[in-house]
Structure 1
C-alpha cells in the first residue's frame, strides 16, 4: 500500500513533539510491514525509510497530494478536505470544546477521546521502544517527575509541585518547564525540592525517567492520550494523576493511582513502593508499541479502501465544558 502521512511539522523530532513522534513511528512500522511511506511535512524534514515532500505554504494542502498514493492519513483537518479525490482518514490528536461537526473519517487516540465525540473509532498511540534507552528496573530511584508542557495551566505543574511539597521529603524533577514563568501569572517556585530541566529529550530525558519513582500528572483537562504516561511506565515509573480523559482507561490500579484530591495523591505517592517497576514496564511495552498502532491503522485504511466510512455519522462533542479547568482540590 502507498501511504501518505500529512502533518504541518518537522520530522524527526528530538525534544518535545508528541504528534511528530507518533507519526514517525507509525511510518517506520508501516515501512517494516512492506508499505511505501511518503510524508507531506515541513521543509527541512528528513527520513531514511520513506520519501519526504516539503509542504508549500503558498498552496492549498489538498493540491499538494501526489497522484501515486493509495490513501492519505491527515493528522489535522485541512480546509477543503471534502475536495480530496483520494481515500483518507484524519487523526485528531488534541481536544476541542465546540460542537462543530468533525470529519466523518476522524480517528481518535483513546476510547474516552472518541466517546466524548460520540464515536467508537480510536487507535492508541504507540512508540518504538527499541529507540529508547533500555530501562534498569533495579536502579535506585531518587525522585519523582513531571513530564509535559509546564507552561500549560491545564497540565497543572503547580499541582504536581504541591503534591511533592505535601510529602515529608520527596523531590520532583520537572521536564518541560522553567522555575520562573511570567506567562502563567509570574509563577515562581522557590522549593529546593523541585528542579526544572526545561524542554529536554533523548538520552537526557531517558536517564531522568529511569531514576524516577513515579510520574506526578494531575492534569485539569480531559487528556486525549498522554505519551508522558506510557513513556514513564516504560521506565518502571507508576503514574499518579487525575481521573480525567484517557487516564482511567490507561492507568490501571496495578500501574498507578488516580484522584483529583491532592491529599489522596500525597498518600499514594508516599506508598510508591507498593508498585512493581516490572509490571509498569511490561504493561507499556505490550499495550503501547508502534507495531500494534500500525496494525490498528491498517485496519482503518482497509475500511476506507473498501468504500466505508470510519464513523456512522460525523463526530460531534457531546458535552462542551463550561469551565476551562476541571476540578482539582
Structure 2
C-alpha cells in the first residue's frame, strides 16, 4: 500500500525525550516500512525516518494553516490511505477524496469520519460503540529490563496539573521515600508556585527534567514503582506500559483508560492518596517478568500495526 502518515506539529519524530504521540507515529511508520509498504510521513523539520519524509516548518508553535497547505500542495499521487495523527484531525477535516483515518490521541473528539481511539474508554467517552479503537504499542526490545530495583519511586510525565504530581508529592511526604520526577514543565507558573517549593524543601525529592536514551532506561527499570496519579480522562497512558515492560510496577488513580490498561493488575489501582501510600509502603508487587510479558502480549508495535492495517484495508475497499 501507499500510505501517508501525518505527525503532529509538536516534536520531531522520533522524539528526543518526551513525545508519546510522536513515538507511536514513528514506530508505526517504521514497522509499515519493514513490512514492505511505501510510506510517506509528514513531520516537523529535524525528523528522521526510514519512510519518505516530507518535512514542514516548525518553530515551536502549532502552525495549522502552514501544515495543512504543505500537505495539500505536496501530497504524492496514487496514495491509498492517509493516517492523520494531529491533535485536531486537521487533514481529516479536509474531506479529501483519499480515505483518511484519524487517530484521536487526545481527550476530545474532532467530529470527523473514520475516527479511531486509543482505548475502549476513550471510545466510550468521546465516540460511539460502532467506532474503532487500537491500543498504542511499543518495541519491547528497545526497553531495558531489570529484576533489581533501587529505593526510589518515579513520577514520569508532563508537569501539568492533570497529571497529578501534587499527589505523588503527597505520597512521598508521608512515606519518606525518595522520589525522582522526570518530564518537561508544561505549566511554568504551577511549577514555580506549587511544585518547586515542595521539591526544594525535601532532600528526598529530585527533579531531573526531561529524560531520554540511556538515562530514561536506567531510571525506568530501577524504580521501585511508577506513580501515575492522573486526574483527567487519560486516553491511554504510554508511561504505564513503558514502565511495565522494564519490569517496573505502576500505582495509578482509576481515571480514563487506566483500569483498562492495567486490567490484569487490579491491585495497582488506588482510589485515594491514602491507598497509594499504603501500597508504596507495602512494596508487594508481581514479579517483574510478569509485567513485561503482559506488555508484550497486549501492547506491541506488531499488534498495533496489524490492527491499523486491517482498518486501512477496510477503508480502501469501501472507497473502491
TM-score for the superposition, normalised by structure 1:
0.85
Separation (CA, whole Å) in 2 of partners of 1:272 and 1:123? 32
2:161 aligned partner: 153
Are 2:236 and 2:257, in contact at CA under 8 Å, matched by a contact in 1? Answer: yes
Between the aligned partners of 1:27 and 1:59, the Cα distance in structure 2 is 20
Which of 43, 46, 51 is the matching residue for 1:44?
A: 46
Q: What's the CA shift for 1:266?
A: 0.7
Structure 1 pair 271–147 and aligned structure 2 pair: CA distance change class (3 A): same
Distance 1:103 1:80 in 2: 6
Deviation at 1:129, TM superposition (A): 2.0
**Structure 1 pair 79–294 and aligned structure 2 pair: CA distance change class (3 A):** closer
Q: In structure 1, what is the Cα distance between the partners aligned to 2:252 and 2:276?
A: 7
My pick for the range that moved more, 271-280 or 249-258, is 249-258
Local SS of the residue matching 1:274: coil
Q: What secondary structure does 1:236 align onto?
A: coil
TM-fit CA distance, 1:279: 1.0
Higher helix share: 2
Aligned match of 1:103 in 107, 112, 132? 112
Matched, 1:226 2:237: yes
Q: State the Cα distance separating 1:163 from its structure 2 match.
A: 1.1
Can you list the C-alpha shifts for 1:240-263, whole angstroms capped at 9, x where unaligned?
A: 111111101011353752123111
The answer on whether the counterparts of 1:216 and 1:240 sit within 8 Å (CA) in structure 2 is: yes
Equivalent position SS for 2:79: coil
The residue number in structure 1 matching 2:286 is 275
Alignment correspondent of 2:61: none
Q: CA RMSD in A?
A: 2.1
Which residue number in structure 2 is paired with residue 66 of structure 1? 76
Matched residue, 1:92: 104
CA gap of 1:95–1:217, structure 2 versus 1, over 3 A, is same
Q: Corresponding residue for 1:26?
A: 28
Q: Cα gap change, 1:210/1:80 in structure 2, threshold over 3 Å: closer, same or farther?
A: closer
Distance 1:252 1:202 in 2: 29
Number of residue-to-residue matches in the alignment: 299
Change (3 A) 1:208 1:273: same
**Residue from 140, 146, 155 that aligns with 1:136:** 146
Deviation of 1:79 after TM superposition, in Å, equals 6.1
Of 67-76 and 288-297, more deviation after overlay is shown by 67-76
Alignment partner, residue 95 of structure 2: 83
CA distance in 2, matches of 1:124, 1:80: 20
Q: Which moved more, 1:106-115 or 1:118-127?
A: 118-127
Q: 1:43 to 1:253 in 2, by over 3 A?
A: closer
TM-score (norm 2): 0.87
2:264 and 2:32 mapped to 1: Cα distance?
Answer: 33
Matches within 5 A, 1:227-266: 227-252=238-263, 254=265, 256-266=267-277
Q: Give unmatched runs, 5+ long, in structure 2.
A: 58-65
Give the Cα–Cα distance (whole angstroms) in 2 for the partners of residues 117 and 259 of structure 1: 24
Q: CA deviation at 1:303?
A: 1.6
Provide the secondary structure at the position in 1 that maps to 2:127: coil
| Alignment pair present for 1:175 and 2:172 | no
Say which SS state the counterpart of residue 284 (structure 1) adopts.
Answer: helix
